[in-house]
């Protein structure tokens, strides 16, 4: 960046120190002076064009540098293995785990992701079970544009029942205020239908993680 700026300063000073030739056909200039005058005017125009191009390049590079600093540069990851999940593994309702971030700007968005094992097994005579896993921001679900969640529904006799599977829950949330934030991953009842909740497990096997990233969306 410093090289480009120094070049601009040099070319700008050169164009200022060059005397603008005023010879024309009515001047008492001989053929050689007329040729020198014409060449000097062409060189001056080229130098001025070069200065403008370099200025534009510097502006674009600076803008790209600022965007690069704001995008993908503020990220937090929290991880838990089978042991550190503790009692949260078998939690039936409420906050499973949380991760903390200090949001720098009220204009940015938060990209959140959960990756970990989930399982649901029926416990009622109906054979049905439904459970929902979702993110909260300081205790409230995302409303811009909408909730960030997954739903698992199962019934007796399905081959996928009691099937442990690593699952990802991911989304962008806008209009989140700047400042200290608790990003929580929660479990609860399904919003649609009056299904029994069954027996759920979260992060029972493997490593579970929450990733929180502050991003500028253009």
Q: What are the DSSP calls for 68-82, one per residue?
A: HHHSS-EEEEEEE-H
**Domain C-terminal end among 46, 70, 94:** 70
Give residues with Cβ within 8 angstroms of 86, minimum separation 6: none
Q: In 3D, which of 171, 160, 142 has the Cα closest to residue 198? A: 160
How many whole angstroms separate alpha carbon 15 and alpha carbon 4? Answer: 17
3-state secondary structure of 142: coil
Q: Are residues 118 and 164 in the same domain?
A: yes
pTM exceeding the 0.75 threshold for the entire prediction: no
Q: Are residues 132 and 56 in the same domain?
A: no
Q: Which residues pair with 23 in a beta bridge?
A: none
Give residues with Cβ within 8 angstroms of 33, minimum separation 6: 23
Question: Which regions in the chain score pLDDT beneath 70?
Answer: 1-41, 43-48, 50-73, 156-163
Q: Are residues 157 and 66 in the same domain?
A: no
Q: Are residues 95 and 130 in the same domain?
A: yes
3-state secondary structure of 197: coil
Q: For residue 65, what are the domain limits?
A: 2-70
Q: Are residues 108 and 25 in the same domain?
A: no
pLDDT of residue 72: 46
* CATH code at position 207: 2.60.120
CB atoms inside a 10 Å sphere around CB 73: 12
Q: Are residues 32 and 104 in the same domain?
A: no
CB atoms inside a 10 Å sphere around CB 187: 20
Q: Are residues 62 and 133 in the same domain?
A: no
Tokens of 176: 């989140």
**Domain C-terminal end among 70, 104, 120:** 70
Angle between helices 31-70 and 2-17 (to 10 degrees): 150
pLDDT of residue 24: 53
How many whole angstroms separate alpha carbon 210 and alpha carbon 115? Answer: 7
Q: Are residues 210 and 130 in the same domain?
A: yes
pLDDT of residue 57: 57
Q: Judge contact between 184 and 98, C-beta under 8 A.
A: yes
Q: Are residues 38 and 130 in the same domain?
A: no
Q: Count how many domains the chain has.
A: 2
pLDDT of residue 66: 43
Q: How many Å separate Cα 152 from the centre of its chain?
A: 28
pLDDT of residue 153: 84
Q: Are residues 140 and 43 in the same domain?
A: no
Look-up: residue for tokens 């700047």? 178
């Amino acid at each position: 960046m410093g090289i480009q700026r120094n070049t601009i300063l040099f070319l700008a000073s050169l164009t200022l120190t060059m005397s603008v030739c005023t010879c024309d056909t009515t001047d008492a200039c001989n053929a050689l002076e007329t040729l020198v005058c014409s060449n000097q005017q062409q060189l001056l125009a080229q130098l001025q064009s070069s200065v403008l191009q370099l200025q534009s390049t510097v502006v674009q590079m600076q803008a790209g540098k600022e965007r690069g600093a704001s995008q993908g540069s503020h990220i937090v990851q929290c991880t838990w293995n089978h042991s550190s999940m503790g009692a949260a593994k078998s939690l039936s309702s409420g906050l499973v785990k949380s991760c903390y971030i200090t949001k720098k700007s009220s204009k940015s968005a938060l990209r959140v992701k959960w990756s970990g094992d989930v399982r649901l097994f029926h416990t009622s005579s109906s054979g049905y079970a439904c459970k929902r896993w979702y993110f909260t921001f300081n205790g409230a679900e995302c409303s811009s544009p909408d909730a960030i969640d997954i739903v698992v529904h199962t019934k007796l006799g399905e081959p996928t029942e009691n099937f442990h599977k690593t699952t990802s829950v991911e989304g962008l949330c806008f209009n989140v205020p700047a400042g200290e934030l608790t990003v929580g991953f929660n479990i609860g009842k399904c919003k649609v239908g009056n299904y029994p909740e069954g027996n759920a497990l979260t992060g029972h096997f493997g490593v579970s993680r929450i990733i929180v990233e502050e991003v500028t969306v253009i």
